[in-house]
Structure 1
Amino acid sequence: MSALHLIRDGAVAELRLDNPGKLNALTIPMLEALDAHCAELERDPAIRAVIVTAEGDRAFCAGADINAWSDLPPADFARHWVRDGHRIFDRLARLSRPTVAAISGHAFGGGLELASACDIRVIAPAATLALPEAGVGIVPGWSGTQRLARLLPEPVLKEMALFGRRLSAERALALGFVAEIADDAPAAARAIAEKALGQSPRATEVAKYMIHGAVGEDSSAMIEALGSGMIAASADKAEGVAAFRAKRKPDFSGK
């Protein structure tokens, strides 16, 4: 059984890392569970917001479990571990529902990249953020040099990736990387997520697509999703489908 669970509570879903004994380090089964849960959430209209959280307060996630990747051949490391992880984190980032990360403990490496894939983040006062990959001879591989470059100033990202410096909760707040500092990060994340329940779900979905298109988060797919959603509501689409099924020439009205 994977140590990453999907928990539903009304219209809010929670993706919870549950491996506190290993500081919630990510394993292949956990990544596979995240992929499957995101696919399930995307198809569940009852879910209006998603929280990503973890058991324990020592670490939100210490990154990828070194035992899961350290012995992989170079080609498999690049082709599977990095690319599959990147694809799965992208799936979380591109969920149509608003997402909030509750960072109760340290978020390092892949754990920071996981939190970065959420729309906003809440952090506990003592939690820190880091990219320690260079200290074990590797580089960030799940968007730590890409998505994070859109969320943090370049010099700050270089401090973390090149020099191993940690980012405090206070500095992360000042930089706008987190929405707030809270003693109970999961409760604060829940309060924020519940705010989405009072918003139009279609409006928040489209607004998220528009913002992602502007910042380069899968811009081509976002543009086509927006265009397809608009055309799917048209009278011409209904007429085109009806004509195809009736094997006749469509009579488009432009409406």
Structure 2
Amino acid sequence: MSVAVSDRAVNVTSTGVVRTVTLDRETKRNSLTVEMLLALEEALGQIEADRSVRVVIVTGAGEAAFSSGADLDSFAGQDRDAAWRDWVPLGHRVFGRLAALPLPTIAVLNGNAFGGGLELALACDLRLAVADASVGCPEVGLGTLPGWGGTGRLIDAVGHARARQLVLTGMPIDAAQAVSWGLLSDCAPRSDMPTLVATYRDALCSRAPIAVALAKQILAAHGDGQRRTEVLEALGSAVSATTGDLGEGIAAFREKRTPTFKGD
């Protein structure tokens, strides 16, 4: 059955004790708008309040993308300082709430996950992907940097050296490499994904929910540096929002051309 959340391109469906949250902007590669982040926050609140839920799955519509990250078209005609000032804290808040859910969460990457899309996946406990998916942090190629908690969670997942490789080069990696790095939990051909997802979902559903919730809290306590990272991300995003390079990066993205950065 479907659980009513909103009409803001975030759908929640219920199958027994499992809730599936789907980013539903397939024609825009499930890129994230402010409205979608607010809808996701609303959905998480409803899910957390439902004591019957045992597992949460987050996925995207279609086959091309889990999420391509922030919807850069949303910035057209906006004051960049204000947009960044609003977006960064909102993303931190929503993704932080997802990470802090007492329920086990699985990101099912039905396609590529870039930028904020990868940061969303990193906020989940497990990440499963189709074998032909790619993941990456392209932000520096747009004149900005990861701003939704991704730097800290990325380091937790793959370590400093590999996080530097992903963030500083902006180069994507394929699903198999991401699994070998620990960035993804597992991957499978698209035809085998339902079986793979069911294996992890059923394992999580069969575990004692209170023990799972406590284990999540203890594991999260190890990453106390996340808050400091988010503060630095906010500062870095604010600085990048004042640069000409960001304007050039967004313009080049929208015009489908290679940006020419001047370092100003």
Q: TM-score by structure 2 length?
A: 0.78
Counterpart of 1:95, as a letter, is L
State how far apart, in whole Å, the 1-side matches of 2:78 and 2:99 are: 27
Q: Does 1:54 align with 2:60?
A: yes
CA shift digits 1:140-198 (9 cap, x unpaired): 11012122121122222222211121121111111122121112435522431221221
How far the C-alpha of 1:74 sits from its partner, in A, is 4.1
Q: Does 1:213 align with 2:225?
A: no
Q: Helix, strand or coil for the counterpart of 1:118?
A: coil
Q: Does 1:78 align with 2:84?
A: yes
- Quick one: which of 9, 14, 17 aligns to 2:20? 14
Q: Does 1:97 align with 2:103?
A: yes
Query: What CA RMSD, in Å, does the superposition of the two structures yield over aligned residues?
Result: 1.7
How far the C-alpha of 1:80 sits from its partner, in A, is 0.9
CA shift digits 1:72-91 (9 cap, x unpaired): 43442332111111111111
In structure 2, relative to structure 1, the CA distance for the partners of 1:129 and 1:147 (3 Å cut) is same
Unaligned runs of 5+ in 1: 220-255
Does structure 1 retain, via aligned residues, the 8 Å contact 2:149–2:226? no
Q: Helix, strand or coil for the counterpart of 1:145?
A: helix
Give 1:172-251 correspondences, 5 Å limit.
Answer: 172-184=178-190, 185=193, 187-216=195-224
Q: Who is 2:173 aligned against? A: 167
How far the C-alpha of 1:209 sits from its partner, in A, is 0.7
Does structure 1 retain, via aligned residues, the 8 Å contact 2:152–2:226? no
Does structure 2 retain, via aligned residues, the 8 Å contact 1:50–1:98? yes
Does structure 2 retain, via aligned residues, the 8 Å contact 1:173–1:179? yes
Moved more, 175-184 or 71-80: 71-80
Q: Helix, strand or coil for the counterpart of 2:218?
A: helix
Q: Who is 1:124 aligned against? A: 130
How far the C-alpha of 1:103 sits from its partner, in A, is 0.7
Rg (Cα) greater in structure: 1
In structure 2, relative to structure 1, the CA distance for the partners of 1:94 and 1:70 (3 Å cut) is farther
Unaligned runs of 5+ in 2: 1-6, 228-264
State how far apart, in whole Å, the 2-side matches of 1:143 and 1:167 are: 20
State how far apart, in whole Å, the 1-side matches of 2:157 and 2:93 are: 19
Does structure 2 retain, via aligned residues, the 8 Å contact 1:25–1:61? yes
Moved more, 71-80 or 99-108: 71-80
How far the C-alpha of 1:7 sits from its partner, in A, is 0.9
State how far apart, in whole Å, the 2-side matches of 1:197 and 1:89 are: 22
Q: Who is 1:152 aligned against? A: 158
CA shift digits 1:75-116 (9 cap, x unpaired): 423321111111111111111100001112110000000000
Moved more, 94-103 or 163-172: 163-172
In structure 2, relative to structure 1, the CA distance for the partners of 1:70 and 1:194 (3 Å cut) is farther
Q: Who is 2:93 aligned against? A: 87
Q: Who is 1:249 aligned against? A: none
Does structure 2 retain, via aligned residues, the 8 Å contact 1:5–1:16? yes
Q: Who is 1:244 aligned against? A: none
Q: Who is 2:253 aligned against? A: none
In structure 2, relative to structure 1, the CA distance for the partners of 1:65 and 1:207 (3 Å cut) is same
State how far apart, in whole Å, the 2-side matches of 1:72 and 1:211 are: 39
Does structure 2 retain, via aligned residues, the 8 Å contact 1:126–1:169? yes
Q: Helix, strand or coil for the counterpart of 1:107?
A: strand
Does structure 2 retain, via aligned residues, the 8 Å contact 1:53–1:186? no
- The structure showing larger relative contact order (alpha-carbon pairs under 8 Å, at least 6 residues apart) is 2
Does structure 1 retain, via aligned residues, the 8 Å contact 2:112–2:133? yes
Counterpart of 1:188, as a letter, is L
In structure 2, relative to structure 1, the CA distance for the partners of 1:51 and 1:170 (3 Å cut) is same
